[in-house]
Amino acid sequence: MDLPPLQPEELARYARHLSIPDLGENGQRRLKAASVLLVGTGGLGSPAALYLAAAGVGRIGLIDDDKVDLSNLQRQILHGQSWVGRPKLESAVDRLREINPHVLVETHACRLTPANAMELISRYDVVVDGCDNFPTRFLTNDACHFLGKPCVYGSIHRFEGQMTVFATHLGGPCYRCLLPTLPPPGAAPSCAEAGVLGVLPGIIGSLQAMEAIKLITGIGTPPLGRLLCYDALHTSFRTLTLARDPSCRLCGSGEITSAENAETLAPATCSVEVANSISAADLRDLLARGPLVLIDVRRPDEHALAAIPGSRLIPLDELPARFDEIPRGNPIYVHCKSGMRSARAVDLLEKQGIAAINVRGGIDAFLAL
């Protein structure tokens, strides 16, 4: 690849990059030649855009059709007070130009849709997923898979954040390997309902910017098949293994053949990530450390057939009448067969002010460990 030269002003601007041996002038020229598409300029997209622009990514594309709202400013640091009520893209362009005039900022004042996703994403080298709803997240994932582009994924919920790189063309899993089907509307509370501490998207969005820069410059190792989980309350970073699912309808069986499919065509509900959840393997580790409150929301006949030791049966349909039985104070872990009913149970419990955590994949995943 013919890399563009750096001008004297750029050599001065990027001096601290140029003195990193792994990056150096060649890496900086790669950044200048590269393009990144940010899906959303909100909580995650803000810090990612700021750092990618400052780092000298040559072309940054922004997709957003939203206006700046006062309630955004607590975390969406790309936008400022004087831009309330105006398009986010306009404030983003102003801010990014101020940070680095060498960067070409392209704006796409729309939503990513099944009709435009392939064309838009095909124009960029790396995608940073900072969207706030499941259909767009599936769409970003699917289009990146079909186009062979890496997708830097980030998600946040209150005090917890997750980050990874999905890149099936590099042998890694895709988002559907983690979440095979679209959660039902309301399975995960929205940012507006659940709240989010403003610094959290700053941390996760910055991690996404770092991974985009690593992918572009080829330094380090991208977290393929590894989901980084940040728990702000307990100040811990953990890495979960995220295996490629051979039966994944997108990157495994190949059942899905187009970015226009049932998940991506679903109406967008403003929800973030599968809220407050842990993997079956993490549940096993927690159980090994000591007793915890684990509620099985399946039917009694399912519980009688096989149950996780120590779990307590409260079928989902009886849950609203039995909230009083649930001890308060410590987090409640909730499981079902595959994680869908328990997601609804977590939602019901959260609405009662009970901190609840869903076990992803349910007892099926637990028994398969």
Q: What is the CA radius of gyration of the chain?
A: 21
For residue 247, how many other CB atoms are within 10 A of its CB?
9
How many residues touch Zn ion under the rule CB under 5 A: the total is 6
Three-state SS at 5: coil
Helix axes 199-217, 24-33, angle to 10 degrees: 110
Instruction: State the catalytic residue, choosing from 131, 144, 151, 191.
Output: 191
- For residues 98 and 3, give the distance between their C-alpha atoms in angstroms, rounded to a whole number: 25
Which residues from 26-85 bind Zn ion, rule CB under 5 A?
none
Which residue number, 182 or 293, has a Cβ lying nearer to Zn ion?
182
The dihedral of CA 22, 28, 32, 38: what is its sign?
positive
Which residue number, 128 or 248, has a Cβ lying nearer to Zn ion?
248
CB of 60 to Zn ion, least distance (A): 27
Which residue number, 64 or 263, has a Cβ lying nearer to Zn ion?
263
Which residue number, 51 or 138, has a Cβ lying nearer to Zn ion?
138
- For residues 30 and 201, give the distance between their C-alpha atoms in angstroms, rounded to a whole number: 27
Q: Residue number with the shortest CB distance to Zn ion?
A: 248
Residue 178 token pair: 């983690």
CB of 40 to Zn ion, least distance (A): 22
CB of 37 to Zn ion, least distance (A): 20
Q: Which amino acid is at 201?
A: P
CB of 224 to Zn ion, least distance (A): 12
| 316 is a contact residue toward Zn ion (CB under 5 A) | no
Which residues from 101-120 bind Zn ion, rule CB under 5 A?
none
CB of 145 to Zn ion, least distance (A): 7
Q: Which stretch binds Zn ion (CB under 5 A): 36-44, 71-79, 205-213, 245-253?
A: 245-253
Phi-psi region at 29: left, alpha or beta (left = phi > 0; alpha = psi -120 to 50)? alpha
Which residue number, 183 or 202, has a Cβ lying nearer to Zn ion?
183
Q: Which amino acid is at 59?
A: R
- Evaluate whether 291 touches 310 at the Cβ level (below 8 Å): yes
Q: Which stretch binds Zn ion (CB under 5 A): 128-136, 246-254, 322-330, 343-351?
A: 246-254
- For residues 161 and 75, give the distance between their C-alpha atoms in angstroms, rounded to a whole number: 14
The verdict on whether 151 is a catalytic residue reads: no
Which residues from 141-180 bind Zn ion, rule CB under 5 A?
174, 176-177
CB of 53 to Zn ion, least distance (A): 31
Site for Zn ion (CB under 5 A): which residue of 31, 191, 228, 251? 251
- For residues 90 and 94, give the distance between their C-alpha atoms in angstroms, rounded to a whole number: 6
Residue that is written with structure tokens 């499919």 in the block:
261
User: Which of these, 283, 173, 162, lies nearest to 232 by C-alpha position?
Assistant: 162
Annotate 23-55 with three-state secondary structure: CHHHHHHHHHHCEEEEECCCCCHHHHHHHHHHH
The verdict on whether 251 is a catalytic residue reads: no
Residue 255 token pair: 């059942």
Site for Zn ion (CB under 5 A): which residue of 127, 248, 363, 365? 248
Which residue number, 31 or 165, has a Cβ lying nearer to Zn ion?
165
Q: Which residues are catalytic?
A: 191, 336
- Residues in contact with Zn ion by the rule CB under 5 A: 174, 176-177, 248, 250-251
